[in-house]
Amino acid sequence: MVLNTNKHSLKISIIVSDLSSSGSGRWGGAVRPFLLAKALQKMGHQVKIFGLGFGVQTPQFSKDIPIVYIPSEYHSGIIDASKELISQIDGDILYAIKPKTTSFGLAIIKKLTSGCPLILDIDDWEMSWFGGDKWKFGFKPIKFIKEIVKEDGALRYPDHPLYLRWLEKFISYADAVTTHNTFLQKKFGGVYIPQGKDLELFNPSKFDPITCKRKYGLENYRVLMFPGAPRPYKGLEDLLEAMDLLQWEDLKLVIVGGSPYDDYDKYLQERWSKWIISIPPQPFEQMPEIISCADVMVIPQRKTPETIAQFPLKLTDAMAMAKPILATRVGDIPEVLQDTGYLVNPQSPEDLAQGIKTIFQGYQTAIDKGLKARERYFKYYSQEQMVFMLDQVIASLPLKK
């Protein structure tokens, strides 16, 4: 039986692979599972997020989405924690985020035992971190057994590429697949669901940039802003080299949040402390105010297997807040941004430097482009568009009678 989701409120269980402060919990409501949850709530559904947490700190989550959080360790206790999590999943629909063992794998088990339909959201090509389709396990029985049995064995790690490869073969077991970019849609199929933000929350008219700059001590600078976790493939080194070329003393790169993964932030600070200002992670609800401080939002992605398979959330932040945007021609960025921002070639500090010059030499034009970016975002990528597409996905599911 197919229900009209406009008339029936359903219980939807969103199953996340890692809710810790180094996983989906690191940005509170800013990442994909929470954006989907908000859109589903807007449709009138009862949404709850379920997930294991691999870390010592329990993140602070938005209080308007119920969370079931089960702490665990990567190499021990994961089976018991998974059993406990599965027993608490209570939705009419299962919505797994990422084809990982602790999300899609658990959702498959729950589908088998409950008969509930399963949606899989693919927001990254997980195998891209391990060489993509070229990765091979090199199966040896003795090695295989050792890596499972020993306490810190590689195969006791739930995100081992062997398991990711296996789970890719089970994607067709999902009743529906959603994704957010062209590369992933071509590779795995499914329905495109944008990274929609609440345009009432991300409303630039609510904030005075000068006042916000004073609040964060940025009033004396021309601010290039990067919200997110710095990683080598995100191109910040190229951007900082561009700043070296310009040598504008009042130009600063403001990094909001930082990396929970490693010491890459420290490396950037040690080499380019002259240009960098760091702001610690902030609640999701405070991000629009911080973004209002930006003179330019920067998305200097390098062209790598990881970035081609990703969609940078900071691009939607920038478009929603009507900010001038400087980005590289990588993945879906040119298609999404089109003529409402400034596009340059990836891995080119010279092009980035020229882009920065062009923006500040004609800043009123840059502001006008930012306003057009917000209009384009509302038309094609907003939370309203998420609701429209998700409604069609849910209406297609074989719901239990």
Query: Is 292 found in the same domain as 263?
Result: yes
Q: Please check whether residues 375 and 387 belong to one and the same domain.
A: no
pLDDT band at 2 (very low <50, low <70, confident <90, very high): very low
pLDDT at 3 exceeding the cut of 50: no
Query: So what's the pLDDT on residue 56?
Result: 60
Q: Does 1 fall in a domain?
A: no
On whether residue 232 sits in a domain, the answer given is: yes
Question: What is the pLDDT of the chain when averaged over all its residues?
Answer: 91
**119 located within any domain:** yes
The model's confidence at residue 6, banded by pLDDT at 50, 70 and 90, is: very low
| Distance in angstroms (rounded) separating the CA atoms of residues 214 and 228 | 22
Dist. CA 268–CA 126, nearest whole Å: 26
Residue 189 lies in a domain: yes
Whole-prediction pTM: 0.90
In a domain, 166, yes or no: yes
Residue of 305 and 5 predicted with greater confidence: 305
Q: Do 25 and 82 lie in a common domain?
A: yes
Which of the residue ranges 81-90, 150-159, 225-234, 278-287 would you say has the lowest mean pLDDT? 150-159
Q: Do 126 and 179 touch, CB atoms closer than 8 A?
A: no
> Could you tell me how many residues make up the chain?
401
44-77 pLDDT tens trace: 999 999 999 887 666 667 678 999 999 988 777 8
Angle at the Cα of 153 from the Cα atoms of 149 and 157, rounded to 5 degrees? 110
Inform me whether the pLDDT recorded for 7 exceeds 80.
Answer: no
**Are 139 and 253 found together in one domain?**
no
Establish if 4 belongs to a structural domain.
no
Domain interval for residue 336:
204-380
Which CA distances in Å does 282 have to 264, 278, 323, 391?
19, 12, 19, 31
Phi-psi category of 347—alpha, beta or left, where left has phi over 0 and alpha has psi -120 to 50? left
The yes-or-no verdict on residue 4 having pLDDT over 70 is: no
Eight-class DSSP state of 387: H
Question: pLDDT tens digits for 326-351?
Answer: 999 999 999 999 999 999 999 999 99
147 within domain boundaries: yes
Q: How far apart are CA 333 and CA 128, in angstroms?
A: 19
Read off the pLDDT of each residue in 288-317 and give the average, rounded to a whole number: 94
Residue 120 lies in a domain: yes
CATH number for the domain that contains residue 85:
3.40.50.2000
Neighbouring C-beta atoms of residue 24, cutoff 10 Å: 26
Answer whether residue 352 shows pLDDT above 50.
yes
- Whether 374 and 241 map to the same domain: the answer is yes
Claim to verify: residue 173 and residue 250 sit in the same structural domain? no
More confidently predicted of 259 and 335: 335
How many domains does one find in the chain?
A: 2
Residues whose CB falls within 8 Å of the CB of residue 375, separated by 6 or more in sequence, listed in order: 340
162 & 249 share domain: no
368 with 389, same domain? no
Q: Closest Cα to residue 13, out of 45, 42, 43, 44?
A: 45
> 99 and 119 share a domain?
yes
Residue 5 banded pLDDT, cuts 50, 70, 90: very low
**pLDDT tens for residues 183-203?**
999 999 999 999 998 889 999
Instruction: Let me know whether 21 and 38 are in one domain.
Output: yes
Statement to judge: residues 69 and 183 lie in one domain: yes
For 133-179, the pLDDT digits (tens) are 889 888 788 877 888 888 778 888 899 999 999 999 999 999 999 99
CA distance 301 to 329: 8
Question: Domain check: are 158 and 247 in the same one?
Answer: no
